[in-house]
């Protein structure tokens, strides 16, 4: 039996964590992929691919806010983020 070394925190998880810490847990503080790209220093396409993966896991939710595409962290997304800190 071989054990693999523990992985680093996945990149999409870092995006989720940042969304949470910024406060994107309610619609009025939702963030667009472009805004997240600015916060994280990633390019928009990369952020969008991570958001897609997070949506599939149920950790973020997509919203249409005043014609703009925005994202918030869901309840289980919050709980998942908090596992990093406890």
Partner 1 sequence: MRIAMITWEYPPRIVGGIARHCEGLAKALSKQGHEIHIFTLDFPGAPDYEEDEGIRIYRTRSEIGHPNFLTWVLLFNHFIEKRMAGASRLVNFDVLHVHDWLTAPCSIGFKHFIKKPLVFTAHSTEHGRSGLHIPDSFTIDGLEWWSTYEANKIIVASGSMKGEVCGHFNVPDSKVDIIPNGIDASKYEGSVDKGAVRSRFGIQPHEKLILCVGRLVPQKGIEYLIHAVPIVVRRRPEAKFIVVGDGWYRDHLEWIANATGHRWRITFTGFIPDWDLVQLTKSADMLVVPSIYEPFGIVALEGMAAGVPVVATQVGGLTEFIQHDRTGVLAYPRNPESIAWGIDYVLSNQGHADWLVKNARDIVQKAYSWEAIAKRTARLYEEVIEGKR
List of residues contacting partner 1 (CB under 8 A): 1, 3-4, 6-7, 9-10, 13, 17-18, 21-26, 29, 39-40, 58, 74-76, 78-80, 82-86
| b/e sequence 48-70, b meaning 16+ C-beta within 10 Å | bbbbebbeeeebbbeeeeeeeeb
Instruction: Tell the smallest beta-carbon distance from residue 80 to partner 1 (Å).
Output: 5
User: By C-alpha distance, which of 3, 11, 20 is closest to 78?
Assistant: 20
Q: Report in angstroms how near the CB of residue 70 gets to partner 1 at its nearest.
A: 15
Please give the Cα distance from 28 to 80 (Å, whole number). 22
Query: Whose Cβ is closer to partner 1: residue 18's or residue 69's?
Result: 18
Rounded Cα distance between 85 and 16, Å, is: 13
- Pick 64 or 86: Cβ nearer partner 1: 86
Residue 67 or 85 having the CB closest to partner 1? 85
């Amino acid at each position: 039996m071989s054990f693999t070394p523990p992985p680093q925190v996945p990149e999409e998880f870092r995006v989720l964590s940042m969304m949470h810490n910024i406060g994107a847990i309610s619609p009025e503080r939702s963030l667009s992929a472009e805004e997240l790209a600015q916060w994280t220093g990633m390019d928009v396409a990369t952020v969008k691919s991570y958001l897609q993966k997070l949506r599939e896991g149920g950790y973020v939710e997509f919203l249409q806010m005043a014609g703009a595409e925005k994202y918030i962290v869901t309840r289980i997304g919050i709980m998942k983020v908090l596992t990093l800190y406890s």
